[in-house]
Structure formats: structure tokens, C-alpha cells
Copies of this chain bind each other. A is one copy, B any other.
Amino acid sequence: MTTIQDFTTQYGLVGKIDAFGYLDWLKANPEAPRKHGKVVLVTADTPLKASRGEGKTTTTIALIDALNKRGIDAAAVLRQPSMGITAAGSKGGASGGGKASLTHPEIIDWGLTGEMAAIAAAQNLLVSFAEKAVDEGRIDTVLVPRVSEVPSRSLRSIAVDYGKGNVAEKVVLTPTSELMQIVCLSRSMDEIGRRVAAMIAGTKDGKPVTFGEFVDLWRITGILGDAVKPAVTETVNGSPVYVHGGPFANVSIGIPTLVSVEMACALHDVVIVEAGYGADAGAQKWLDIAAREFGAQWPAAAIVVTRASTWRDDPELAWRYPFHVQRLENFDIPTFPLVNLWEGEDDQVEALRATAKELEFRDPIIGNLFRDGGDALAPQLDGFVAALDSAQSAPQFHSRKGMNLLEKVRWIAQNAYGVPSERVLLKPGFTDSLAEAAALCKGVGVSLDDLAVVAVKSPATMTDNDRAPEGERTVTLKKVEVHAGAGLVHVNLTTSLTTPMPKIV
């Protein structure tokens, strides 16, 4: 009998799965045994600093260990961390820690099997082909950025052909590239090819030109041959973990690949999807982009991770955590607060429970997951499991395709950041940027309003100043960037960096 093993190949210490092939096989064999797993989002409070995680991955790992311990077939889907950022020390790895660890975190943190590097090479090759198109007079302006796998402050702004052409270019981190978004959102290599063909390479006399007009797509898909295969590994307790797709929900979609989640749902009863940085970034993008516009599953439950210190020690920002929890509950998503204790915080449990009660949260799940792993969670999951059992499978959402872009952004500001439309401000130049984006779309026969909005923002803030009183918080829209191939439009707001190159520490 055909099983997932027939689609899995060993790559050193991890397996790689032909998810495209497996999902096609399931479609062709509707009678084949399969599960219909429910998706649970593990998201977090808005971190105080991007470099300081709340413990989403640690929680995700402890959670599947705890669920499996309770006899529930649960798996996790993680995004591949950015090796460059990890190696540079700008951010810790994203593979858990202590008792809530993967068997081989070093593989996950240090480049996996070259997925992100292949995507980087393919995106940079597209830029090379765009340059060739300039030489050939097909275009006069290149609109695709180069990517770098490692952070480098000075790459935010570069000039190529320096001393002659002095062509200004920008370099972005690999996970934020349109090609990474295409890999995350596509369900076949054909779809990847179609989306790459629809990418806007640049303009000729102001009119957009797509890569489909001059690039041999096999050169790009050839590079991506292995990168489209999710990796499978496990926790130290043997719970299955799939890793696929880029991070950074602050400056990109930051979701795992759709196929990795769909594959996991066909193999397990509960599939934990990590969505961060905070709920305002990762969860917002899973709900409003992946689920609403790209057919991903609406979550059956959510867990919002925080650290006691994040939740309470900064009174001006303490509003954010309850805001996130309440917001997800408003979508009828049973949402469980989880406090990831650090060493020496065990004595705070009672106080934390009291605070949760005041806030009318569900009973919070509290534990030192680094120290105790899933054992700290298993006994606290009755309510969570009950909520999963009773979760409806019917979608709780509708698409916003066709809604005017500004309306979409205002809806996000109101709903995800708590800022009403009258306090959504347009920075000088935004309107021009919006008009240019609309013109680009028109030029390639796409409606700007049909693209899903990617809010590009700082991971640590939801508004221009989260410390301001609620009635004074604003969101300022800075500029618009079209990713026609991915079907997305970036809108930069708050203190976002369009080409994030974190400090090396």
C-alpha cells in the first residue's frame, strides 16, 4: 500500500517529502486512508524586541509532545529559520530548547538542506536575467530586488555597475523575497512556474514587463527542485515536526508552505502551525492571507504565548496581550493564553492566574517549557482538547478579494491593531506610491484590489506608538509594493524597514 514513506527520501539527518506528489496522489486516490487534521495556531504576544522571542517554537514542541503523550496524533509545522540571521547572532535559532527540543536543532538552524539558499540563488538569477533584459532593451528599469541570506546593514542600499552605470538597487533578506512567497503559496511546480512568469521584472518606458516574457522558466524551477520539498524531523520525544517555508511575518507572509500544512493535516489529527512574531504579524497573516485568500485551513484553536515579563513588566504595553487574545476569540477561535515561565518565575503562577481571571481569559496554560517540556503542559490541556473536539470545520471567514486596497488596510488596522480608520494616516508620497502600484498592476492585467495585502511593519509594534493612549494611537501608511507573481501587495507601515538587515551581534 502506498504511504507517505513512498514520497519521503532521507537527506542526512532529516527526511524530505515530495509534498506536491503526495497531495496529487491523495487527489487521485480519494479512497486512500487519510486524516483530516485540525490546524491550531501557536502565536504570541507582540515581542518587546524582535531579537527576544516569547517561546513559540518551544511551546509548539512541548505542545505536540504533550498531546502525543495524551494519545492524540499531533504534529507541528515550523518555518525554516533564517540561517544567516542565526549565524550572525542577530536572533536565536528557531528550534526550541531544553526539554522542548528537536532531535537535530543544528540542522534546522544551519541551513537545513539548502532550501533557502536555493530560493536565494533563483531570485538572484531572476535579477541577472532582468539585467540581461536591460542590455537587450526589453526593459529599462529593474524592479526585483537581489536577496542576501546573511544580514548586512550596508546592503540596504547598493549601487551596481558602480563607477559606470551606478544603478541603485536594494537587497532584501531571502525570506522576504517574492520567490519565497511563491514557494510558500504554491501547490505545484507548475503553479510556481506560472507565478514566476507573472512576476514583474521591471518596466520599459514605464510599462511593466513580466519574467514570463523572456526567461526560460526551467532554469528557475530547476534550482528549486529540492527546495519545494518539506523537511521532516522529530522532537526529542519522537513527535513529528515538518519544517518548510520562510520566517518573518513582519516583513513578509512568514507562514510555512501551504502544502506542508495540508500534507500534515492528511497525516495527523492535530497540526500545530507556528505563526509569529506576534499575533499581529503571524496570526494576522495566516488568517487574512493564507486562509482568506489562498485556501489554507481556518484554525480550530489558537494558543497565544507570552512571557510573564512581557505581559506585565511594561505597563504601557500591557494592553497588547489581552488585545490579541480577545481578537482571536472574536473570530470564534477558542484561544488559550499560555505563559512560558523562565527560571525563577515558578512563584508567579498564582498571580498570573489571577490576572487571567480578571481579564476573563480562558484558564491559562502555564509552565517552564524549557525545563519541563511537554510534561508541564499535558495535565493542563483538558480545556484545549475539548475545544478542539467541538471545533466546527466550517470556515468562519470570507475573502476580501476585490475590496479596495485602502479599505483592506483600514480593516487590518482596526481589527488587528485596534486603530480606527480615521487614525490611519497616509504619509506624503503614499498616494503616489499607491497610484504607481495600481498602474503596474493594470499594465499586467491584474487588479490591485485582487491582491492580498501584506502589512510590512516592525515585529515589535502594531501602531506608530504602542505606548500612546488608546485614543491617540495611529498607523501611518508609507508605501506600496506589488508582488504580482505571488498575488500579494506589500503596504509598509509604522516603523517597518523595507529591507531588514538586523544588527549583527
Contacts and interface: CB of A to CB of B under 8 A. Distances in A.
Contacts of A151: 128
A27 B87 CA distance: 33
A183 to B, nearest CB: 15
Interface in A135-179: 135, 148-168
Given A11-B11, A113-B114, A121 B162 contact: no
A461 B118 CA distance: 33
A369 interface: no
B121 A118 contact: no
Contacts of A9: 10, 12-13
A222 to B, nearest CB: 5
Given A83-B121, A83-B223, 17 more contacts: A9-B10, A11-B113, A87-B121, A87-B122, A106-B225, A113-B114, A114-B118, A124-B148, A128-B151, A131-B152, A153-B161, A154-B160, A156-B161, A157-B161, A158-B158, A159-B159, A163-B168
B111 A113 contact: no
A258 interface: no
A16 interface: yes
Report, as a range, how many residues of chain A touch the other chain. Answer: 35 or more
A87 B159 contact: no
A88 interface: yes
Please give the count of copies of this chain that the complex contains.
2
B128 A504 contact: yes
A129 interface: yes
A381 to B, nearest CB: 36
A443 interface: no
Contacts of A153: 131, 135, 161
A167 B154 contact: yes
Contacts of A294: none
Contact of A111 (B89, B121, B152, B154): B121
